Amino acid sequence: MSRLNGKIALVTGSGRGIGRATAKLFAAEGAKVAVVSRTPANVENVVADIRSAGGNALGVVCDIGNADQIKAAVDKVVAAYGGIDILVNNAFDPSAPFSTVIDLSVEQLQRNFETGPIAYLRTMQACYPYLKASGEGRVINFGSMAAVMGLVGYAPYNMAKEAVRALTRTAAREWGPDKITVNNVLPLAETWGKEANVPAPTNALARFGSPVEDIAPVVLFLASKDGQFLTGYSLTPDGGSIIDSAR
């Protein structure tokens, strides 16, 4: 299969979970993939997996909460591959997502924004010239169904993830003339579901999504030619959780 044949993709947070599944699927579909994560061992493992399967991967260690490291990461990818066609903003620091509104501190909120919408903005800005030059650039950001549902005890996380949706919609309008699509994925995945304390039976399919089987294929759709006429949207591979939120 080669739905991304010849494309260059930068996937943040691809050392584990959804990012890892996405990077490996992109490579299997013919893309040159920059595996970006702050944990060197995870980067090395994913790159090795991709290469052993015959794919093309570049490992990039980067803390997305650091503006200089973001720029360096993008520069490294461009130097190695010559451009960027697809940006997947998946990375997020989960170290301080929990707080009720009454107990929320500015410090918690700042960290969630620094590794969420601010990091996504910086990565998008750094990649923009190359996405534009591509002539069919793709940006896929990650929001969260927890934010849509207003999950109790997740105030800083919810606020940051909903800001990502606003960034996505705005960039979709502004970058449309440059033939860049910008979309958002709001998963209910097993990588965070248990931590979020959302019982699986509350969604229609009564389970959490698999990063490999349920979430990464949706990201692939948005990155491929199949998704070329979709922009500014939030797709919800969530097993039907959105039904409870549509009130």
Contact (Cβ atoms closer than 8 angstroms) between residue 210 and residue 190: yes
Catalytic residues: 157
Listed in order, strand segments (DSSP E) in the chain are 8-12, 32-37, 56-61, 86-89, 138-142, 181-185, 234-235
- To which H or E segment does residue 118 belong? helix 117-134
Contact (Cβ atoms closer than 8 angstroms) between residue 113 and residue 36: no
Question: What gap in Å lies between CA 74 and CA 139, rounded to an integer?
Answer: 14
* Cross-strand pairs, 154: 99
Q: What is the DSSP string of 51-74?
A: HHTT-EEEEEE--TT-HHHHHHHH
Question: What's the sign of the alpha-carbon dihedral 229, 234, 236, 242?
Answer: negative
Question: What gap in Å lies between CA 4 and CA 97, rounded to an integer?
Answer: 34
Q: What CA–CA distances, in Å, run from 1 to 19, 30, 31, 131, 229?
A: 20, 7, 11, 23, 22
Contact (Cβ atoms closer than 8 angstroms) between residue 232 and residue 182: yes
